[in-house]
Structures are given as C-alpha cells and as structure tokens.
Amino acid sequence: MLAENTDVLNTALKVGLSGPGRLHDLCVNMEAATPGEIKSGGVGMKIYTGIHPSPFGETLIHINERGICGISFINKENKLAREQRLYNLWPNAKFIVDQKKTEKVAKRIFNQTNSNAPIDVFVKGTNFQVQVWQALVRLEPGTLATYGQIAKAIGKPKASRAVGGAIGANHIGFLIPCHRVIREGGIFGSYHWGVDRKLAMIGWEQVKREG
C-alpha cells in the first residue's frame, strides 16, 4: 500500500481533501492558540464537554467558541475517568458539561452528515507540532503514511522522531488523523487510545473508501 500510494499521498498533502472521490465532507480548518492564550493557561476560556457514542467507542468531546479543542476515546476499564490531557493543557479554563452542545459536533463527525461548512479545530502546540497536524488533516481518508513521509511533507526529512512526538501530543483524535500514520515496513505501532481502536479506524475508512 505504501508503495502504491506515494503519489496519492504527496498530492493529498499539497491540495487537501477535494473532489467527488473523497470519503466524506469533513473539511477541517485548524487554528492555533495565540502566545497570550498559552501563557494564561486559558483564563476566561469556557470549554464545553460531553460523552457520546461513536463507531469506535464512547467519545469525550471538548469544544470552545473557537472550535473543537479535544476529542478522546474512553476505554471500558477507565469509563469513570476523564481525559486529563486537555485539563493539563488549559488548567485555568472553565470546563462545563453540556451534552447538547457537544452532541451536534459528535453527529457531524461520526454520522458524517452532509454539509459544506468546514469543521473548525482549535489546537495548542509548538509551531512544529502544528505543522505536523496540518499535514495529517490533508491525508486522504483510507490511506496510510509513515513518519518519514510526514517529515518530508513538512520539509524536514530528518525529523521522523520529532514527528512521532508531535503525533503523540495530538489532543484531537480522529479529526487530526494520527491513526493514519504507521512505521516503516507496515508496522502499525502504538496509539494513544489503543492499537485495536487504531486498526478499527483504518479498516472503517478503507472499507468506505472502497465503497
């Protein structure tokens, strides 16, 4: 697959998701936090949270006025636990449980309702991390890339290890599709929310891609 899809990957990274052949209408706009927002830790920011079903298990979704700022998956063994990653990113923000607000987002993402409006995501990261995440959202659904290919795509071909670190820091699962990145030689590698879930996402996308 890697050998066959090299050209497809390079094209997708340049032009993004476009054309009638794409998997769905989920076009992602990414906005990064400002230095002031990072320094304040989210003072004055309201983040709404909710838990919803998805094809890949229960999903914890965080949104604020700028867009989706967190998507994580809850495993059965830690169902009562909450994803701490976003709380650590924005320690001074106010978190509010609001299932109605987040339900609309969950339906748009996982039911893939037809809409021409892009989905806005709001990220907190270094310039390098944001570059990597932007490359990920341009990957065509149903395709795979290696860490080295992502490094080349952002103009840093020797930064494969750093790309792995940026992927591990991704706090918006599925929409920033780190599940589409594998190791050289076709090894699937680890995944923050479990390798089984990563395999399920890859298989789900490839089946839909093939119709």
Active site (catalytic) residues: 178
Contacts 24+ apart (CB under 8 A), 186-190: 186/1, 186/2
Cβ-contact 23, 141 below 8 angstroms: yes
SS3 state at 68: strand
Residue the block writes with tokens 């094809």: 55
SS3 state at 52: strand
Instruction: Read off the tokens for 38.
Output: 């990072």
Sheet holding 46-52, edge to edge: 28-32, 119-123, 67-73, 59-64, 46-52, 94-97
Give me the sign of the Cα torsion angle 181, 184, 187, 193.
negative
| CA diameter of the chain | 49
CA within 13 Å, CB half, 200: 12
Residue the block writes with tokens 């020797």: 158
